[in-house]
Amino acid sequence: MISIRFWPVAAFFSASFLGLAACSPANAPYEPPPASEAMPSSAATAEMPSGDEHDHDHDAAHEEDHDHEEGHEEGHAGEAHVHGHGELAITREDDFLTITLDAPLASFGLPESKVPEGAAAEKFAEGIVEPLGPTECEETERSTTGRTDGTHGALTVSVVLRCKKVDRVEGMLVHAFDLYPAFEHIDAIYLGPEGQQVAKELTPNDTEIDFD
């Protein structure tokens, strides 16, 4: 079946045949049109995709499926979601140290689809860190924030410590690995009052971050 896009070409050949019949002797043998005017043999399949085009479409579809699969590794609002991972931030202001740990629910040993609330959530902030140095610190505040998209969930726990001689705090010992064995590594950072920054990746075998 000839595609509608080829009707002008077909009409052109019909007119050519009529012209030959009118201008040639009655007994003149038929001569085919010059090769330059003949329809390419591939015209009938002009709308069939080439092998390269097919491969390109296949690759594009494969990439789209791959992107979709990777999307399942993302959490709320496209954030990275890696089980066993966590992010710890320690900031100092005046006599206070604020410790914030953010991680997927699975890193705390929790199901991904349900976020703990209230006292059930706050218990995950208890004892996650211990200041190192010749001073005394006490907890003055604790808070938690959970989020989930129905498939992936995460929990942020925050603890505020007040230290008598905060300048003597030399570092922080992180107990999250002992409390929640699902943790495999934690990216920790300390932000000092004068812009100091110390970053370190913690593991179950290396749970201490020094502030100097």
> For residue range 125-176, what is the model confidence (pLDDT) as tens digits?
999 999 999 999 999 999 999 999 888 999 999 999 999 999 999 999 999 9
Polymer length in residues for the chain: 212
- The backbone torsions φ and ψ at residue 102, rounded to the nearest 5 degrees and listed phi first, read -120, 130
Distances (CA, A) of 108 to 73, 113, 125, 165, 194: 17, 13, 11, 32, 33
Cα–Cα distance for residue pair 61/173, rounded to 1 Å = 48
Q: pTM, whole model, 2 decimals?
A: 0.64
Q: Is residue 131 a contact partner of residue 169, using CB atoms and an 8 Å limit?
A: yes
How many alpha carbons fall within 13 Å on the CB side of residue 150?
0
Per-residue pLDDT at 34? 53
What are the DSSP calls for 18-74, one per residue?
A: HHHHHHS-TTPPP-PPPGGGSPPTTGGGTTSPPHHHHHHHHHHHHHHHHHHHHHTTB
Contact 85, 184 (CB under 8 A): yes
Q: Is 102 helix (H, G, I), strand (E, B) or coil?
A: strand
Q: Which contiguous run of DSSP H or E holds residue 201?
A: strand 197-202
Q: Going residue by residue through the chain, which has 212 residues, state the pLDDT in tens, using 9 for 90 and above.
A: 333 333 333 343 344 433 433 434 444 444 555 544 444 444 444 444 445 544 545 454 444 444 433 334 555 444 567 899 999 999 999 999 999 999 999 999 999 888 999 999 999 999 999 999 999 999 999 999 999 988 899 999 999 999 999 999 999 999 999 999 999 999 999 999 989 999 999 999 999 999 98
Query: Residue 40, by phi and psi: left (phi above 0), alpha (psi -120 to 50) or beta?
Result: beta
Token pair of 113 as six digits: 């689809």
Q: How many CA atoms lie within 13 A of 119 on its CB side?
A: 0
Q: Tokens 């914030």 appear where?
A: 100
